[in-house]
Amino acid sequence: MTSFILTTTARLLMPLLFMFSLFLYARGHNEPGGGFVAGLVAGAAWVLYALATDAAQARRALRVQPQSLIGWGLLAALTSGLIGLVLGYPFLTGQWIRLDLPGFGAFELGTPLLFDLGVYLTVLGVTTTIVFALAEE
């Protein structure tokens, strides 16, 4: 049985939780936060949605198999380590490129951001896999 109040609250809170998750991810490679905490917050959004509706509807709304998120996350984390290795540095050595975009200014992109993306996707995939499996039982 679904609750109208919980369903409405979940639909209102999900975008806020996803925005907060992206905020944590974006600032995480320079300050506290990052892929793990951001992935947990995004996972909590899907948990809330699964509780408000049901696991099957939440799985359909996710549109991606949670196990594939785990695979893509591990691939992104591995790729971030291999970039330094290919350039002749030890595995997981951070590498950065500087981008100057007109209107946006200069900023640096680095392999720690890619590693955090891998952690984010892996944590999101594990969280949703566990919760969906438990909710479907």
**Residue predicted with more confidence, 122 or 112:** 122
Distance CA 35, CA 27 (A): 10
pTM over 0.85: yes
* pLDDT recorded at residue 29: 67
> Tokens at residue 83, please?
């970039």
Q: Which residue range(s) make up the domain with 51? A: 4-136
Q: What average pLDDT score do residues 40-57 get?
A: 92
Distance CA 135, CA 51 (A): 8
Distance CA 57, CA 49 (A): 9
pLDDT band at 68 (very low <50, low <70, confident <90, very high): very high
Residue with tokens 């695979």: 71
Determine the number of helices (DSSP H) and then strands (DSSP E) in the chain: 5, 2
* pLDDT recorded at residue 1: 58
Number of domains in the chain: 1
Diameter over CA atoms, the chain: 58
| Percent over 70 (pLDDT), the chain | 96
Average pLDDT, the chain: 90
